Amino acid sequence: MKTIRLEEPTKLIALETEKPGDPGPGEALLRVHRIGVCGTDLHAFAGRQPFFSYPRVLGHELGVEVLATGAGISNVQAGDHCAVEPYLNCGKCIACRRGKPNCCADIRVLGVHCDGGMREQLLVPANKLHPSPTLNFDQLALVEPLAIGCHAVERAQLERNEHVLVIGAGPIGLAVMQFAVEAGVKVIALDVNAARLEFCKRQLGVAHVINAASEPVLDALLDLTHGDLPTAVLDATGNPQSMAACFNYQAPGGRVVFVGLFQGDVSFNDPNFHKREMSLLASRNALPADFSRIIRLIEDGHIDTSPWITHRSAFSCAAEQFPLWTLPATGVIKAMIHF
């Protein structure tokens, strides 16, 4: 079957591999129709993705069709169109037992710790499939990145009408903004890319944007919040300088949520942290309920996914197109690969 594999940083190759075979008990055999390209894939291509080894078949934002199921499956059947929850958890560790499979002690994420969906077919546990009778494959592939933002907003416990700063207008930051707007807060977007900030305003309904490349961030925040500063700051950059700066942008008693991941240490001034009695949270992956909620929101028309996909490629051309999507000048919000 047709497969694209990342052999080493910056080296993607197209090759033929063996089909996965029949599904065993609890498994489903999938035909991949759409593969969304995300920051994890781009970081892996550049050699900057933690918890990653080469060679690896990328791809965890998937719109799929069920071809066959093994014994004991009741949630899906052949012919169903599904989003894939790509976080394969053990079900036994303390995190899984406490209802947090997204941070399982032995988690394996498709396309990161094990081979993902940049291939024609794959086997997954059937309980990781979320079917929809109405969503198309593009929409199904976008459920996972939206789930990252949904979970981050849940972690932040946002309160209606509070000022919330979201740093980073890449795909994950945009997903955070999507659900922050849905929560009824006053969202402020911060980035250095004017085109992405315009996307925040035009497509997501973000009321206020700050371009850190052209205006003093702290002064702008004080002005927008009438001297109060935001009570929640969510950083989706994975940039250590940006993450450290979060501690200066929030109001006393507020909270910081790190959504983006940095492969190293982040430091902050402890007296500043204590005097504001800040809460510091991490957000990792998403929960099964996030997938179900997002599918309902898209089905009901509350979320419009059509503006998200800015670039497309047939699978046969994707290995050649992929390096272009890493370039800021390309203006990619979300690239989608289709068979």
The 10s digit of each residue's pLDDT in 103-130 is 999 999 999 999 999 999 999 999 999 9
CA 319 to chain centre: 22
pLDDT, tens only, 223-240: 999 999 999 999 999 999
Which structural domain, as residue segments, surrounds residue 186?
A: 148-282
Cα gap 230→236, rounded to integer Å: 16
Strand-pair partners of 208? 188
Same domain, 157 and 259: yes
At residue 31, the 3 state secondary structure works out as strand
Same domain, 101 and 227: no
Beta-sheet pairing, 232-235 with 163-167: parallel
DSSP code string of 257-318: EE-S--SS-----HHHHHHTT-EEEE--S--HHHHHHHHHHHHTTSS--TTTEEEEEEHHHH
DSSP state of 328: G
User: Considering the entire predicted model, what is its pTM?
Assistant: 0.94
The number of folded domains in the chain is 2
Same-domain pairing of 325 and 277:
no
Q: Is the pLDDT at 329 greater than 90, yes or no?
A: no
Are residues 20 and 122 located together in one domain of the fold?
yes
- Do 214 and 267 lie in a common domain? yes
Predicted pLDDT of residue 54: 95
Closest by CA to 282, choosing from 300, 261, 296, 303, is 261
208 & 243 share domain: yes
pLDDT of residue 48: 81
* Residues 177, 119 share a domain: no
Residue 328: the pLDDT is 85
Instruction: With respect to residue 140, please indicate whether it lies within any of the assigned structural domains.
Output: no
Q: Which residues contact 36 (CB under 8 A, 6 or more apart)?
A: 61, 62, 141, 142, 144, 145, 334, 335, 336, 337
**336: pLDDT confidence band, cut at 50, 70 and 90?**
very high
* pLDDT of residue 47 exceeding 80: yes
